[in-house]
Amino acid sequence: MEISELPRPLVIAVDGPSGSGKSSVSREVARRLGLEYLDTGAMYRAATWSVLEAGVDLADQAAVAQAVRDLDLRMGTDPAAPGVHVGSTDVAGPIRETRISSQVSAVATNLEVRAELKRRQRELIEGARDGVRSGVVAEGRDITTVVAPDADVRILLTASEEARLARRARELHGAAEAHHLEATRDQVLRRDRDDATVSSFHVAADGVLQLDSSELDFEQTVQAVLQAIAATVGTRQGDPVSR
Ligand SMILES: Nc1ncnc2c1ncn2[C@@H]1O[C@H](COP(=O)(O)OP(=O)(O)OP(=O)(O)O)[C@@H](O)[C@H]1O
Ligand SMILES: Nc1ccn([C@H]2C[C@H](O)[C@@H](COP(=O)(O)O)O2)c(=O)n1
């Protein structure tokens, strides 16, 4: 089945550990398929930014959860410009700062926060399914397992720790020498350990396709995801997958 022939609506769920490439690859796949794009990690980052701005103690789980329930969060789902706003503030840049990356897991492991953001994520996914683009690529840690287990295609995108550290180091520091890797270790490997206490994103659940991008470059990874989507949907439609 040709990529351009994929039936709609189409919901694609992509999970994976930090630095596996799920955000950048999912966004490019959404762009090429003409689908919406939902970065659920950005929602947790925006929640963390807002709670810190409000001076809420992250250890006060009840206060954090109430602040997130009250959160005025607007997610842009256009893969060409996926904005993130808290109230009238554009937080797309601030939520990527190391201070957020180093504290987001404290918010993301709050189960009441997860319940609230899962509810919003499901609303956004259903809205995209019924929207003009008739579908979405939603990525994060628990999309294939909790948020959208009935997605048309579910993919776990993984990569070796070495590859993930190097990618994040190049992204943040422009190089992947030993001291760059060491500076990145906390926000990649420690964060994964914390995040894995509330989500499973290292081993594919039943029905989830696992793709390892360790030896693939960015374009090869995008192509692998597109082919997996075509193969999955084509199989369901009974059509052979065209190369
Ligand atoms: N297959 C690949 N080969 C080389 N670089 C890649 C590959 N996939 C993604 N990248 C790059 O690695 C960096 C991290 O990618 P990305 O932010 O998409 O990862 P992520 O899994 O979403 O991480 P996090 O969950 O921490 O946000 C980016 O600079 C991206 O361009
Ligand atoms: N569905 C999700 C998405 C993200 N998180 C947590 C895990 C990360 O530490 C943090 C930021 O995500 P990223 O921008 O790195 O993809 O949010 C989660 O628990 N569930």
Tens-digit pLDDT profile for residues 96-133: 999 999 999 999 999 999 999 999 999 999 999 999 99
Residue matched to tokens 């990529």: 3
Q: Which residues are annotated as a binding site for ATP?
A: 16-24
pTM here is 0.95
d(CA 195, CA 161) in angstroms, rounded, equals 15
For atom 6 of ligand 1, the residue with the nearest CA is: 218
Over residues 123-148, the pLDDT tens digits come to 999 999 999 999 999 999 999 999 99
pLDDT the model gives residue 243: 39
Instruction: Examine the pLDDT at 186 and tell me if it is beyond 70.
Output: yes
SS3 state at 158: strand
pLDDT the model gives residue 238: 61
> Residue 137: what are its φ and ψ, rounded to 5°?
-105, 115
Going from the Cα of 158 to the center of ligand 1, the distance in angstroms, rounded, reads 10
Q: Which ligand is nearest to the CA of 20?
A: 1
Residue 37, strand partner residues: 137
Topology (CATH level 3) of domain 9-233: Rossmann fold (3.40.50)
pLDDT grade for 69, boundaries at 50, 70 and 90:
very high
Complex ipTM: 0.98
* Single-letter residue type at 218: F
pLDDT the model gives residue 234: 80
For atom 5 of ligand 2, the residue with the nearest CA is: 41
- What are 145's two structure tokens? 């397992």
pLDDT the model gives residue 239: 55
